[in-house]
Chain A
Amino acid sequence: MTVWLSRLTGGCRALFARRAVERELDDELRAHFEMAVEQKMAARMSRAEARRAVRLEMGNLEVVKDQVRDVGWESLVDAVGRDLRDAWRSVRRSPGVTTLAVLTLALGLGSATAVFTLAHGVLFTPLPYEDPDRLVQFELGIGPDRFGISPGQYVTIEHQSRRLSGVGAFYVQEMTLTSEERPERIRVGRMTASFLPVLGVTPSLGRYAAPEARRTGANGGGYLLAHRTWVRRFGADPGVLGRPLTLDGVVAPIVGVLPEGFFAPRDLLSPGDVEVWAPLVLNRADLNWGNHYLTAIGRLAPGADLARAQTESDLLLDRIGRARPAYFPDNVEVSLTVSPVLDRLTGEVRPALLMLIGAVSLVVLITTANVGGMLLSRGHGRRRELAVRAALGAGRWSVSRQLLTESVLLAGGATVLGTAVAALLLAILPRLAPADLPRLDGIGLDWWALSFIGVIGALTALVLGVVSAASALRSDLSPSLETGLQRGDIRRESLGREVLVTGQIALAVVLIVAAGLLLRSFGTMLQIDPGFDPSHLLTLRVAPPEGFAAGESSGTFRKRLVERFEELPGVTGVAAANAVPLADHPGDTVFDIEGRPSALESGARDSAQYQHATQRMVTPGYFDVLGVPILGGRGFRESDRAGAPGVVIINQQLAERFWHGRDPVGRRMRMHWTPHRNGRWLEIVGVAGNAKQLSLIDEFDTEMLHPVAQAGPNTGIGSMATIMVLIRTTADPTALVETVRHAAASLDPRVPVYDIRTMDQRVAASIAQPRLTLVLVGAFSLVSLGLAAIAIYGVVAHAVNQRTTELAIRIALGARTGSLLALVLGRAWRSGVVGLTAGLAAAVACARVFRAQFYGIDPTDPVAIGAVVVTVSAALLVAIYLPARRVSAVDPITALRVS
């Protein structure tokens, strides 16, 4: 609209050519005045009379000018500028309060922004796929365990699903990348031809080979590079297309580069970053139905929703079960779940992040209440100043506008400083975060974070402004000029602060209880016995040279490797396994027990009777080196070799569940593969202690251990693709890292050695997420306790100062110190007790909501809550006692003379 345009230009002219506009108005009014005077003189008045008459008629010219100036929007700009200047002056007058207020607010705003940005990035940012809300992921549940799906099931879904417009699948494996430098183990994703089209992703460079072209066999379609790989290994060279790449000895050309930020939907089956993508061609003539290693993704067809897709997948599972009887056990619940991809990605960390959001929101409330209290007590000291302003004609609106502007200034400063705090925290937090926290890469101080801090900064300014303006306006200002302060004012004044202080204490108690519970549960985690001795233990993975995987040479290489490491100084024992606790999952199997019904057909539905165990291949030294005790029977011997009778060691958990206290040694069991193909019978020769699997806080799994010499492609046990080596040392194991690398290289320079970590590091990593939550909530709770203590200190100090005269009179009349203390402390006590009680009640309610975040303790854990009550009471007592002490120091003579 042109009206807006002309208003805009007019206003801008008034702002930027202020002098010309003012002069014009002056001239115009003067002309008006003179013309009026002339008119009156023409009516035969004297000049002086005429002027007086006109002045009376026109009124005060300055007022007229003000009215003219107020017409445009620019007058608002002027007013705001004036308010800002006033506010700046007044804020500078009390630098101490101002600094404290800005710092406190900045802390609240900054930490809130950091936590919200983190949570937003992890939980809510859309995935980098086309229409990601329509993507679902399949999960097969057998009893308590969760799997991907098998190729057979995948093909069934692909052929029969009507609710999905497309399905694709992938899995991730490790492969050796051979180049001029030393060989490396990298993560390689293998995807079906439909995978990228279902996600709606196209390579940013190169082509995506048509599905037909990929039927020619493994790697026939060539490799796709992840963007990171392209940049890091190939210097982002666009000429990379067509160049050959060697993976596990197979040479194929690079056919494309995936877009930046692309990642496959992850789950437990495929963690980590995939560097190269290779085609996955399922052998449709001989589909595997028993290995659930595929992550299958589907896109909801137009018109279909999650509920319908789930109904359909129940139906499909039923068909799969009927077409392939005896693949699923009868005695446990089997399910095929369809869930949104984002849920599968973030489901694990969601509750922890929501709890952090809750905690940091409390911090914002506490800091705002704290600064609100500061402003109230400062406003109280400024009563005279405001009264003078009111007496000089400032309306209530203009007084409150000024107070509002002051809080805008405070909150504005805090927002700027808070942005720095947030940037700092966002740089630190991802480093503290556990490795399995997804999507941390892109998280930083982005526009989302900036707008977030802008919005909450504005809200804070508004709340603070309203609080201080309300308290200034509630009482009549004029008496303040005459008598300083009325008693009624004092009471109302301190009531407002009391409410704020009580609220702060209550909120702080909620945070401290949360921190206490987290600390207790973390302490419980640290005391968990992992079932082995994690100290002085170095773990690393070695990929044997190519061609090793089959036959005798594997054993030879492994033996030479172990012997080589054993010779190193400071090493007391070396063992090898396909996987060690807290590093990787070794794989699992269903088993039969001789003389009992087969694994899948035993009676009632009871997941405890589900004959299922993780399966580990180890060298004889495994139990000694790791520190897992043999509880019955014997350990493995060198004589348990390939040709010897098959033996197995089971863990205590398995023994107890299936032999119920009877001795299993001497019994036989076997792997149950398909109804027609099973492993050979293995004699149980020993029972080993339980060891934790992936995390300290997991329950013990049932576990079978095989001598690695009896494993291999034709044994029915499987073979060891890469070797996990355990090295027990006398001194700090990290000191050995380079020596170990050299030792391995001296054996064969082509052998990649990777994933080198001490067992202590793995233990810490397995509880990194609870630790992050504990650190953050702990820090928040300390800050809030400090703020609450400062606030209650302020209230008491204020009460003592305000009542010095009264106290002096009472002392002069013979009052005891005790009764004076009671007088001053009455209200502070009430705040403390009410705040503590309300806080505890709220904390217990919150703790129940977040019950799952507390390991091994009850949300009403008496130790934690007792400790919180003691800590908070002690802190508040000190905060109350320090200022109250001054009561006894009141000298009646001095005090009365001053007033």
Chain B
Amino acid sequence: MPVREKPSGVVQGTLDMLILKTLDLEPLHGYGIGLRLHQISRGVLNVNAGSLFPAFRRLERDGLITGEWRATENNRRAKYYSLTRRGRATLERETREWETQSAAIARVLRASRSEL
């Protein structure tokens, strides 16, 4: 089921985390980030500009990512975002929290009477 294009479709904190993860692999421009999320999630996550760009502004303001204008492979100028040191630390912390939480949630959802 594709995620709706509303900002609320992806939980805000989650979107930030996904962007950070994407940038952890390599610096990318906005369009690239959207595309990458789409590809990696095998078409499940389809985040539109109205959610992406406010997220960039937010992350940049918080000093987690930093932007730099560069030429693309098609010789177009684009703003490439990359992780800052603080961004990387945040990503690691949030990934750990996410894993703990999602494992816990998964356990709760799998629970059966016999485990009580």
Contact = CB atoms under 8 A, between A and B. Distances in A.
B50 A72 contact: no
Interface string A61-90: 101100110111000000000000000000
B58 A71 contact: yes
B60 interface: yes
Secondary structure at the B interface, as helix, strand, loop or mixed, is helix
B72 interface: yes
Among B29, B61, B72, find the residue whose CB has the most chain A CB atoms closer than 10 A.
Answer: B61
B49 to A, nearest CB: 5
A71 B48 contact: no
A35 B49 contact: no
B49 A32 contact: yes
Contacts of B48: 57-59
Nearest to A69: B57
Contacts of B32: 35
A760 interface: no
Contact of A3 (B30, B53, B63, B76): B63
B102 to A, nearest CB: 26
Contacts of B49: 29, 32, 58-59, 61, 64
Nearest to A70: B54
Nearest to A65: B53
B90 to A, nearest CB: 10
A14 to B, nearest CB: 9
A25 B54 CA distance: 11
Interface stretch (A5-13, A594-602, A610-618, A630-638): A5-13
Nearest to A61: B49
Given A29-B53, A63-B50, A67-B50, A11 B76 contact: no
Nearest to B63: A6
B63 A2 contact: yes
B114 interface: no
A71 B57 contact: yes
Contacts of A72: 57, 61
Contact of B74 (A38, A61, A71): A38
Contacts of B31: 31-32, 35-36, 39
A28 interface: yes
Interface in B11-29: 29
A32 B62 CA distance: 23
A11 B63 CA distance: 12
B30 A32 contact: yes
A51 B74 CA distance: 18
A3 B29 contact: no
Interface in A77-123: none
Among B49, B53, B54, find the residue whose CB has the most chain A CB atoms closer than 10 A.
Answer: B49
Interface in B56-101: 56-58, 60-63, 72, 74, 76-79, 86
Contacts of A24: 79
A131 interface: no
Nearest to A8: B61
A28 B62 contact: no
B46 to A, nearest CB: 9
Given A38-B74, A59-B48, A59-B50, A71 B61 contact: yes
Interface in A25-68: 25, 27-29, 31-32, 34-36, 38-39, 57-59, 61, 63-64, 67-68
Contacts of A63: 50
Among A2, A6, A34, find the residue whose CB has the most chain B CB atoms closer than 10 A.
Answer: A6
A516 to B, nearest CB: 64
A893 B7 CA distance: 61
B50 A64 contact: yes
Contacts of A6: 61-63
A67 B53 contact: yes
Interface in A152-208: none
Contacts of A38: 74
A34 B56 CA distance: 19
A7 B57 CA distance: 10
Contact of A35 (B58, B61, B72): B72
Nearest to B29: A31
Nearest to A31: B78
Nearest to B50: A64
A120 to B, nearest CB: 44
Nearest to A24: B79
A478 B29 CA distance: 46
A64 B61 CA distance: 17
A27 B72 CA distance: 14
B65 to A, nearest CB: 11
B62 to A, nearest CB: 5
Contacts of A32: 29-31, 49, 53
Contact of A11 (B54, B61, B72): B61
A68 B53 contact: yes
A7 B62 contact: yes
A39 B63 CA distance: 31
A279 to B, nearest CB: 69
Nearest to A71: B57
A7 B59 CA distance: 10
A35 B29 CA distance: 10
Contacts of B58: 71
Nearest to A59: B50
Contact of A31 (B35, B61, B63, B76): B76
Contact of B78 (A10, A35, A39, A71): A35
B63 A68 contact: no
Contacts of B56: 68
Interface string B27-46: 00111100100000000000
A31 B77 contact: yes
B53 A31 contact: no
Contacts of B50: 58-59, 63-64, 67
A280 B60 CA distance: 75
Interface string A341-384: 00000000000000000000000000000000000000000000
A27 B77 CA distance: 9
Contacts of A25: 53
30 contacts: A2-B86, A6-B61, A6-B62, A6-B63, A7-B61, A7-B62, A25-B53, A27-B77, A28-B30, A31-B30, A31-B76, A32-B30, A32-B31, A32-B53, A35-B31, A35-B76, A35-B78, A39-B31, A39-B35, A57-B48, A59-B49, A61-B49, A64-B49, A67-B54, A68-B53, A68-B54, A70-B54, A71-B54, A71-B57, A71-B58
Interface of A: 2-3, 6-7, 10-11, 24-25, 27-29, 31-32, 34-36, 38-39, 57-59, 61, 63-64, 67-68, 70-72
CB-CB nearest 6 A-B residue pairs: A6-B63, A35-B31, A10-B61, A71-B57, A31-B78, A58-B49
Given A6-B61, A57-B48, A67-B50, 6 more contacts: A24-B79, A27-B79, A31-B77, A67-B53, A71-B54, A72-B61
